[in-house]
Structure 1
């Protein structure tokens, strides 16, 4: 197993980035911050996913002994109080995509002046709900405040029962606008008695993709039928002598982020267990053996220098070309991909992360920098709240006996989800 002290140092430094990203008044996390952790480098906005990540990472920090339990409760209470005040879609209780990280006000323009058409994302709300479920179980004193937010969230608003070709389970919409954004939308309501909204034309069809967190939350709360999970598509890719059920773009985020909360490989060792082991191994072999990059771990991230882009391993992607591993002549690895791989290949992932830190220098006072070019060592210069939440979430599970999985999968949740996950077949050979 990897060196325990090394993993704890990475986890403690990652938590330091969250302390710097969190507004002391609103309790909300910013979307990103510079590697210096200077408050002036905060992005000025946040999202439901970022908020969910801070919720579960605060519990993780408590379980790892980085924060006192009373300090943990105070921080969570401050954040929950802000959530209560934030504007949501009244009929579903869902949160919009962007809010001011200092006040919690709904944003209609980005800090750079760009116009925002407020959107409600199924997957982003799934991550927020996951964080709320963790806090409700981990901090019983705050359970009432959590449920005042969580219980009004109805994931049925995203569930299109008529979509899909694999049976009666339906599909989740990408999300919706309340006001027509002037794009190609589908004005419809998926819940009887609720007003139509402007849904995206696309649905989430693949099983092995990050939107399954919204599926898990919806099924656990009786808002989405279990048949939905059973009917999601599991196509195959064959690479380096093995079949693998692909993600859309071939990225680690799509494959592994939901397993921070749901022990899929334990509940379904012959399906999820096999597929997650192959996904990680093939990411590593693609980079180390086929491409000789020297480092591995591909997932959407901040780009070295500036911007944000998608990265992955094309041979294990369902999309025709997949997400690229190279961009503009740079080979871009992101530490959060290898951090999540600690839950699958702990020794190999820890070695990769240690070399990213020591050889490439992609590390600062707040832990791993979001991405780095393996050829030149040029890095992104910032931390993304989303990606840091994956790093700390995975480290907490490895160091603290699957703490986030235990908090999310209460006996009541496990009783609903485990049979659904265990019964799911995959055409692996």
Structure 2
């Protein structure tokens, strides 16, 4: 396989390539995932062997991150999985990722049922005993993975912090508990004992906008260096100190907090339609990089502007940064394309197509898949298909930070409508997230990243690689490896993660809500 996969090769790759071709679209867009898979793609014996090896190696990195006594995974380790250097901090998201990865590892036969139950029970027992915000049942952002103690110094170890209770981090942990309670009967009672105490009404602010919005989170005690809103939306326990931030856009990973709130019957459905699909199309909002096009529709009595951005002839509801994580990580749990065929069922395949075309045709990197990850030069950075992001600062797809700005028609001229891209940075977990929608292309892309860019070690794919310079971020991040395991579990395990998350009760509380909406996504 050559280093450069041309678009022609992608189009010839198999029946799943109808995502890129000219198949008759459903609802004016691309085929749904069910239509794609029904259309003929089935993993070959070679595919199963390759992805199975990737899963085993990925699991090896997750085990290396996990403390043997607490069952808590570190946030990250370096390249060694035999002598791992752990980060000394973890989060509810990381812990949740470890739990659902364990479920996947058992299903794939990587570990025994006995080991799965032992690991899950150990982790949940630790979480039952750690210090947390008891009135809400929520967990603080940072713990020491070796002791389970709350951290009062930031992850960099440079300054003191006031422990923060994040809505999104706790939502990912709650998702894991919902998966565990169905996939691991022996741990169900323990998972329920934690889940039943979690109250997402603490984050829901009905006054933030008509319909209400979810807050980013709160502090139990006031931080000395930040202005906060004192209050208590749930009316349970003492007042808390809310960060002055609400999640007001729809296509970001933060929508998972609303989904969990709906699933637990703690947040009203109006919250979903209170968020922006795009910002309005008036000149008051011309600071963003592109003028949206769309129509207004009414759902649950709320006016919703169904705006989209244009990219290469595709109309897409953008995410904040144009990355795969924001668009597709919630879809690991909520089968959005199936439950909402006129919105996410069109938007998700188009997002994947946009990433493929950006990497192969637009920026001409020869590879694709862009998401926040480790920077090959050190540290952590955000990456995305920048024309599909609402953030005016941009989530670039290259090391140089190339920024797209198409202007705002009728209000201002663009500063960089036709960028020249540099050293592209691809992030393997992004391609794994895309696997549900473009399995052939994702497997081929990842195989080439492994064989040609050599961005692979004893714990699976390294976190990121710059395609021209060959610089590799040789470390493993707990969350990114958990996304890899979750994606494999869904594609090669008959929607393992989704079907254990989406009980009948959960489906009844989410599916009718998201199923009523119609995005303006599609092909021009």
- In 1, the alpha carbon distance for the partners of 2:73 and 2:463 equals 16
- In 2, the alpha carbon distance for the partners of 1:130 and 1:422 equals 20
Is 1:301–1:334's contact at 8 Å kept on the other side of the alignment? Answer: yes
Q: 1:55 to 1:47 in 2, by over 3 A?
A: same
**Aligned equivalent of 1:26:** 70
Say whether 1:42 aligns with 2:86: yes
Say whether 1:172 aligns with 2:218: no
CA-based RMSD of the aligned residues comes to 1.4
**Aligned equivalent of 2:238:** 195
TM-score under structure 1 length normalisation: 0.96
**Aligned equivalent of 1:378:** 471
**Aligned with 1:303 (options 375, 379, 402):** 375
Q: Quote the offset at 1:39 in angstroms.
A: 4.0
String of CA shifts for 1:251-307, please: whole Å, max 9, x gaps.
Answer: 100000011111111112221111001111111111211111111111100111420
Question: Equivalent residues in 2 for 1:21-420 (5 A)?
Answer: 21-109=65-153, 110=155, 112-164=157-209, 168-181=210-223, 182-235=225-278, 236-328=308-400, 330-420=423-513
- In 2, the alpha carbon distance for the partners of 1:390 and 1:40 equals 20
- In 1, the alpha carbon distance for the partners of 2:494 and 2:125 equals 30
Q: Which of the two has higher C-alpha Rg?
A: 2
Q: Quote the offset at 1:330 in angstroms.
A: 3.8
- In 2, the alpha carbon distance for the partners of 1:195 and 1:267 equals 38
String of CA shifts for 1:103-129, please: whole Å, max 9, x gaps.
Answer: 110011246343222111110001000
- In 1, the alpha carbon distance for the partners of 2:245 and 2:356 equals 31
- In 1, the alpha carbon distance for the partners of 2:499 and 2:84 equals 37
Stretches of structure 2 that go unaligned for 5 or more consecutive residues are 1-40, 279-307, 401-421
String of CA shifts for 1:132-179, please: whole Å, max 9, x gaps.
Answer: 110011112211111111111100101011112xxx421111111122
- In 1, the alpha carbon distance for the partners of 2:316 and 2:259 equals 22
- In 1, the alpha carbon distance for the partners of 2:84 and 2:157 equals 15
- In 2, the alpha carbon distance for the partners of 1:178 and 1:193 equals 13
Higher helix share: 1
2:343 aligned counterpart, secondary structure: helix
Is 1:45–1:101's contact at 8 Å kept on the other side of the alignment? Answer: yes
TM-score under structure 2 length normalisation: 0.79
Q: Quote the offset at 1:214 in angstroms.
A: 1.1
String of CA shifts for 1:383-425, please: whole Å, max 9, x gaps.
Answer: 0000000011001111110000010001221121111121133
Is 2:383–2:395's contact at 8 Å kept on the other side of the alignment? Answer: yes
Say whether 1:15 aligns with 2:59: yes
Is 2:61–2:81's contact at 8 Å kept on the other side of the alignment? Answer: yes
Aligned residue pairs: how many? Answer: 426
- In 1, the alpha carbon distance for the partners of 2:149 and 2:336 equals 36
Q: 1:414 to 1:382 in 2, by over 3 A?
A: same
1:223 aligned counterpart, secondary structure: coil
Q: Quote the offset at 1:40 in angstroms.
A: 4.3
- In 2, the alpha carbon distance for the partners of 1:193 and 1:139 equals 31
Moved segments of 4+, more than 6 Å: none
String of CA shifts for 1:18-37, please: whole Å, max 9, x gaps.
Answer: 11111111001011011211
